[in-house]
Amino acid sequence: MSEDDKETQKSDIKENEKEESTEKESTEEKPKAKFTFKCTRCDACCAERGPIVITMWDLEMWARNGVVANFMPYFDIYQKPDGGIDLILKPLAPQPKEGEEEKSTKDPFGGVPIEELLDVKCPLYNKDDKKCLVYENRPLSCRTYPLEFDGKNFIVVDADCPGIGEEGMTKEDLKEMRETAKIMHYELTRMRIALPVLNQLISQKVMMDLMRQNMEAMSKMTDEDRAKLDEIFKKDREDQ
Ligand code: SF4
Ligand code: SF4
């Protein structure tokens, strides 16, 4: 689901207590619809989820349960348009159908831009068996879906989720869902503070290692090889 879709689907669902008191105070005001939810396990969210943002809570849980390696192939860093970065589970690019040309604007290393994967299934969803392959270890974002908390309000991020409006939600269920959404917000904030620092440290370390490897390689070169390399650089400068 795209950010734009999410924005348009934003609907505040204030605390129940507030709704109840507002309804009591004014009979003229149209009462707000009460939020009820029961997951129907339709898996629609898994089948077209797009990138899933990862929190510190997820990393800590996976480390505790010894399953980080299962998620490694799908990790990616998403550079957001606002300059921030998120750790995400990146969907796999769908294979073009038979006879169809590949439309994607892949980069030279085979990466497909995130913007092209917003409605693509979660890489951990088995479409044939209609099953989450990591259900016990699913990320926090999947546990709170489709409810999120932005630090002030609760937000429904997918108004089309068939579970919304389903009867059977107890006060305790609602409280638990809100608590999970709040934890998600807190853990995502922690991640967004830590990630740029870690990213910088790791990039610096990688650069230093590359430079060290280059210097080692240069020191092992013969005079003849070094002369050839100088020649290549000289020609390159002349061509520019
Ligand atoms: S959260 Fe909504 S879309 Fe996802 S499985 Fe449950 S009912 Fe379906
Ligand atoms: S991790 Fe599991 S629950 Fe979450 S979107 Fe993927 S398949 Fe669905």
Summary mean pLDDT of the chain: 83
CA torsion through residues 130, 144, 89, 73, sign: negative
Question: Do residues 141 and 184 lie in contact, with contact meaning Cβ atoms separated by under 8 Å?
Answer: yes
Reported as a single tens digit per residue, the pLDDT across 100-128 is: 665 555 555 557 888 889 889 999 999 99
Task: Record the tokens describing residue 207, joined without a space.
Answer: 């650069």
Quote the ipTM score.
0.98
Please indicate whether residue 47, judged by its CB atom, sits closer than 6 Å to ligand 2: no
d(CA 213, CA 202): 16
Could you tell me the pLDDT band of residue 222, with boundaries at 50, 70 and 90? confident
pLDDT at residue number 209? 87
Strand partners, 149: 154
Q: What separation in Å is there between the alpha carbon of 232 and the centre of ligand 2?
A: 51
At 90, is the pLDDT very low, low, confident or very high (cuts 50, 70, 90)? Answer: very high
3-state helix, strand, coil in the chain (%, to 5): 50, 10, 40
C-beta 163 within 6 A of ligand 1: yes
Helix (H, G, I), strand (E, B) or coil at 147: strand
240 secondary structure, DSSP code: -
Q: Is the Cβ atom of 42 under 6 angstroms away from ligand 1?
A: yes
Test site for ligand 2: of 49, 121, 127, most ligand atoms within 8 A of the Cβ: 49
122 lines ligand 2 (CB under 6 A): yes
- Ligand nearest to C-alpha 52: 2
Q: How far apart are CA 94 and CA 117, in angstroms?
A: 9
Location of structure tokens 């070169």: 221
Query: Closest Cα to atom 8, ligand 2: which residue?
Result: 46
pLDDT band at 203 (very low <50, low <70, confident <90, very high): confident
Q: Rounded CA gap, 109 and 237, in Å?
A: 26
- 67 pLDDT tier (thresholds 50, 70, 90): very high
> What is the tens place of the pLDDT at every residue in 14-49?
444 444 343 344 445 566 678 899 999 999 999 999
Is any ligand 2 atom within 6 A of the Cβ of residue 125? yes
Residue nearest to atom 6 of ligand 1 (CA): 39
Q: What is the pLDDT of residue 135?
A: 96
> In this structure, what DSSP letter does residue 152 have?
S
Predicted pLDDT at 105: 58
Distance separating alpha carbons of residues 230 and 7, to the nearest angstrom: 56
Give the pLDDT of residue 107. 58
Gap from CA of 169 to ligand 2 centroid (Å)? 22
Q: Which of 112, 107, 105, 62 is nearest to 91 (CA)?
A: 112
Give CA–CA dist 221/215, Å, rounded. Answer: 10
pLDDT score recorded for residue 18: 43
User: What does the radius of gyration of the chain's CA atoms come to, in whole angstroms?
Assistant: 24
Question: What is residue 53's three-state secondary structure?
Answer: strand
pLDDT for residue 207 is more than 50: yes
Distance CA 81, CA 66 (A): 33
Q: What is the pLDDT of residue 93?
A: 86
Amino acid at 58: D
What is the distance in A from the centroid of ligand 1 to the CA of 152? 24
pLDDT at residue 112, rounded to an integer: 83
Left (φ > 0), alpha (ψ -120 to 50) or beta: where does 168 sit? left
Position 20 scores a pLDDT of 39
- Ligand 1 contacts CB of residue 41 (under 6 A): yes
What is the model's pLDDT at position 114?
86
Residue nearest to atom 2 of ligand 2 (CA): 132
**The tokens 């008191």 sit on which residue?**
21
Segments making up each domain of the chain, as ranges: 3-202, 208-239
Give per-residue pLDDT as tens, 134-177: 999 999 999 999 999 999 999 999 999 999 999 999 999 999 99
Tokens of 110: 């085979």
Report d(CA 82, CA 85) in Å as an integer: 9
